[in-house]
């Protein structure tokens, strides 16, 4: 029998849906004005189903009150970036013109109509964010309101019903709390990865938006995306395929963007390159984006942090955060076009995103040249400094002066 628990939301405007216009100028480095808040949450005491769910989990020996108390197949310090089962995922459905109440669902399966627009027309978008345990045992999600805004942008572009920021952040809070045992403990260098997904679940045969949407959040304890922790990876330029069209959907996090990268990414990995770089599809002369992460070039002498500004690049929340940190430490941040020839002027290059964090790139191979950055086995000083600072903020080891950490536990 499927176990589902209903959530008790105390915000009066949870069912509201905020209007959102697509805005590609996401890369503004203005400081966040949101103040972190802690909301009191709880299960409905009138529901015997809720009680049975809690009793069942407790009887299995899982301490629901402590991060890192779940039993995994590997030690917390050895987690990679792959799927692992957890206690629950959260699910919401939009139908008849409104979003229904969120549910916590134990079984990791979902029934979908054979005519769902996600299956036929790719009406699907997702997000990625992480929850971290701090030294005092509290758990914080990093900048969830930014993910809410980016998901709204994706929804606007492919005509899906968005969630309000309140709905999104409340859902994130509740699913982390229900899976608190799976949040890696402080000191393990791991995090609980959240994958929100919103897709058209209503049936359409003609090309048009669905009238029903499903939103869910799955959670997975993870470690480093690339094995070996913070170490350099070699990259190659993909010149036989394009990631996104200039006026397409490259700037939003829709599922089809990643499907386009599956084949070239797989081919390059077989050739020994764990990461690949795309150029602009119109001219093949400008740096755009790595397969799943933003590009950052560091000019050490001039203290510059340079990243592409393109309507085809997905705006990374990690990159946005690093740009602010770079300014905090006195660097000049430039979001602009980067010609392929300019690669030889960078002392350090890194890929950044929620999954990879800030991964240093040792070399980039083109058809006729190999660009190298620093010593092969050494992470650059600026890359290391920026990486350490963002991680220190995420783990609560450094003051969160911008209010990026949202406490959920």
- With cut-offs at 50, 70 and 90, classify the pLDDT of residue 7: very low
State the number of CA atoms in the 13 A half-sphere of 77 facing the CB. 2
* Cα separation, 33 vs 343, whole angstroms: 35
- Average pLDDT on 286-295 reads 96
Residue 17 has pLDDT above 50, yes or no: no
Q: So what's the pLDDT on residue 55?
A: 26
- Average pLDDT on 131-135 reads 98
389, 395, 398, 403: CA torsion to nearest 10: 100
- With cut-offs at 50, 70 and 90, classify the pLDDT of residue 116: very high
Mean residue pLDDT of the chain comes to 86
Q: How many residues does the chain have?
A: 409
Provide the token pair at 296: 């950052």
Which residues are CB-neighbours of 258 under 8 A, at least 6 positions away? 292
Rounded to two decimals, what is the model's pTM? 0.85
The H-or-E segment that residue 237 falls in is strand 233-238
The residue with tokens 């070239």 is 264
Each residue of 92-114: b (16+ CB within 10 Å) or e? Answer: bbbeeeebeebbbbbeeeeeeee
- Encode pLDDT of 357-408 as tens digits: 999 999 999 999 999 999 988 999 999 999 999 999 999 999 999 999 999 9
- Average pLDDT on 8-23 reads 34
* Cα separation, 266 vs 2, whole angstroms: 37
* Cα separation, 285 vs 291, whole angstroms: 17
Residue 2 has pLDDT above 60, yes or no: no
Provide the token pair at 68: 């890192």
- With cut-offs at 50, 70 and 90, classify the pLDDT of residue 158: very high
Strands 89-95 and 129-133: unpaired
90, 34, 320, 400: CA torsion to nearest 10: -100
Q: So what's the pLDDT on residue 64?
A: 53
Among 122, 123, 170, which residue's Cα sits nearest to residue 145? 170
Residue 111 has pLDDT above 90, yes or no: yes
Residue 284 has a CB neighbour count (10 Å cut-off) of 12
Q: So what's the pLDDT on residue 29?
A: 40
Provide the token pair at 196: 């929100």
Helix axes 165-178, 144-157, angle to 10 degrees: 120
Which region holds residue 396: left if phi is over 0, alpha if psi is between -120 and 50, else beta?
Answer: left
- Encode pLDDT of 215-268 as tens digits: 999 999 999 887 667 889 999 999 999 999 989 999 999 999 999 999 999 999
The residue with tokens 């499903």 is 214
Q: So what's the pLDDT on residue 148?
A: 98
Output 12 or 177, whichever has higher pLDDT: 177
The H-or-E segment that residue 155 falls in is helix 144-157
């Amino acid at each position: 029998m499927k176990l589902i628990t209903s959530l008790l939301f105390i915000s009066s405007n949870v069912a509201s849906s905020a209007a959102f216009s697509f805005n590609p100028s996401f890369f503004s480095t203005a400081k966040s004005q949101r103040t972190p808040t802690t909301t009191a949450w709880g299960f409905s005491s009138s529901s015997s189903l809720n009680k049975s769910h809690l009793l069942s989990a407790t009887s299995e020996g899982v301490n629901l009150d402590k991060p890192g108390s779940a039993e995994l197949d590997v030690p917390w310090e050895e987690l990679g970036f792959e799927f692992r089962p957890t206690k629950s995922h959260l699910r919401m459905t939009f139908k008849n013109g409104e979003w229904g109440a969120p549910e916590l669902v134990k079984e990791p399966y979902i029934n979908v109509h054979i005519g769902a627009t996600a299956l036929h027309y790719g009406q699907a978008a997702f997000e990625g964010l992480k929850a971290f345990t701090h030294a005092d045992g509290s758990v914080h999600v990093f900048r969830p309101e930014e993910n809410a805004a980016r998901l709204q942008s994706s929804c606007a572009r492919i005509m899906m019903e968005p969630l309000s920021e309140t709905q999104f952040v409340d859902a994130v809070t509740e699913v982390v709390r229900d899976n608190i045992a799976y949040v890696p403990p402080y000191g393990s260098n791991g995090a609980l990865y959240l994958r929100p997904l919103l897709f058209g679940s209503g049936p359409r045969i003609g090309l048009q938006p669905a009238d029903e949407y499903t939103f869910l959040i799955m959670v997975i304890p993870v470690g480093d995306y690339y094995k070996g922790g913070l170490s350099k990876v070699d990259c190659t330029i993909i010149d036989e395929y394009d990631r996104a069209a200039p006026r397409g959907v490259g700037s939003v996090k829709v599922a089809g963007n990643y499907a386009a990268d599956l084949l070239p990414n797989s081919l390059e990995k077989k050739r020994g390159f764990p990461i690949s770089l795309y150029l602009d599809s119109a001219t093949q002369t400008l740096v755009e984006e790595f397969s799943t992460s933003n590009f950052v070039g560091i000019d050490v002498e001039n203290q510059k942090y340079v990243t592409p500004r393109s309507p085809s690049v997905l705006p990374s929340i990690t990159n946005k955060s690093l740009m602010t940190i770079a300014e905090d430490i006195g660097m000049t941040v430039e979001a602009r076009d980067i010609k392929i020839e300019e690669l030889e002027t960078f002392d350090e290059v890194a890929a950044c995103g929620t999954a990879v964090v800030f991964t240093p790139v040792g070399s980039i191979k083109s058809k006729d040249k190999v660009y190298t950055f620093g010593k092969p086995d050494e992470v650059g000083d600026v890359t290391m400094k920026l990486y350490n600072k963002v991680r220190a903020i995420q783990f609560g080891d450094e003051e969160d002066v911008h209010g990026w950490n949202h406490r959920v536990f």
